[in-house]
């Protein structure tokens, strides 16, 4: 049975597509792509149908990741098919938990940087949209750092389910 993960930020053009691309690559490297499905969305629909921000695409491709993406808005009905909803900051976490139809669904929402022991109390991935390229590079570093711990947690859950 497939374990489904969805990354969520504001407009689904910067942080969440970056997290989706990095995590999809980690899943493939681990040989788990038949067990784990990776997706992303935004809390709002402002950019629905748009590609990822060109700066996101540039940073991803520069570091060997796939930059292809089409933005979409997260729907509360998705909770039924998702196992884990990964928020990129505290605002997304709160919005997603409010959107969750049940307490069980709300418990599926976690902050990405909670999987990075080095993050300490700084669990938000800052929105790079209004800044320069350095913000996108910093975002990628945070996403990569958290992806290792996230992969271990998801691997355990997915393999436990498959056993």
Q: What is the pLDDT of residues 84-136, one digit of tens each?
A: 999 999 999 999 999 999 999 999 999 999 999 999 999 999 999 999 999 99
Domain that holds residue 47: 3-162
Share of the chain above pLDDT 70, in %: 99
Other Cβ atoms within 10 Å of 36 Cβ, number: 24
Q: What is the pLDDT of residue 3?
A: 97
Nearest of 100, 35, 118 to residue 110 by alpha carbon:
100
CATH, residue 94: 3.40.50.2300
How many domains, the chain? 1
Sheet with 109-111: list strands edge to edge: 36-42, 3-9, 84-87, 109-111
pLDDT recorded at residue 82: 98
Q: What's the pLDDT at 14?
A: 98
Kindly indicate the confidence band of residue 1, based on its pLDDT and cuts at 50, 70 and 90: confident
Distance between CA 91 and CA 110 in Å, rounded?
12
User: What angle, rounded to 10 degrees, do the helices at 15-29 and 54-62 form?
Assistant: 30
What lies within 8 Å, CB to CB, of 60 at 6+ separation is 18, 21, 22, 52, 66, 67, 140
Residue 160 has a pLDDT of 81
For residue 13, the model assigns a pLDDT of 98
Residues belonging to the active site: 9, 15, 127
pLDDT, tens only, 12-62 = 999 999 999 999 999 999 999 999 999 999 999 999 999 999 999 999 999
Q: For residues 1 and 35, which has the higher predicted lDDT (pLDDT)?
A: 35
d(CA 41, CA 9): 7
User: Can you give the C-alpha Rg of the chain in angstroms?
Assistant: 15
pLDDT of residue 131: 95
- pLDDT band for position 163 (cuts 50, 70, 90): low
Per-residue pLDDT at 161 exceeds 80? no
pLDDT score for 162: 66
What predicted TM-score, i.e. pTM, was given to this entire model?
Answer: 0.97
């Amino acid at each position: 049975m497939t374990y489904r993960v969805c990354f969520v930020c504001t407009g689904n053009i910067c942080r969440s597509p970056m997290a989706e691309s990095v995590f999809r690559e980690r899943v493939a490297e681990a040989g788990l792509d038949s067990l784990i499905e990776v997706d992303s969305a935004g809390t709002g629909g402002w950019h629905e149908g748009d590609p990822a921000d060109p700066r996101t695409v540039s940073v991803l491709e520069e570091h060997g990741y796939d930059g292809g993406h089409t933005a979409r808005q997260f729907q509360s009905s998705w909770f039924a098919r998702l196992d884990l909803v990964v928020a990129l900051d505290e605002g997304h976490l709160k919005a997603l938990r409010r959107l969750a139809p049940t307490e069980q669904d709300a418990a599926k929402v976690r902050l990405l940087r909670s999987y990075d022991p080095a993050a300490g109390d700084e669990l938000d991935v800052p929105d790079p949209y209004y800044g320069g390229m350095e913000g996108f590079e910093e975002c990628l570093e945070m996403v990569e750092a958290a992806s290792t711990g996230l992969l271990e947690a998801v691997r355990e859950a997915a393999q436990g389910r498959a056993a």
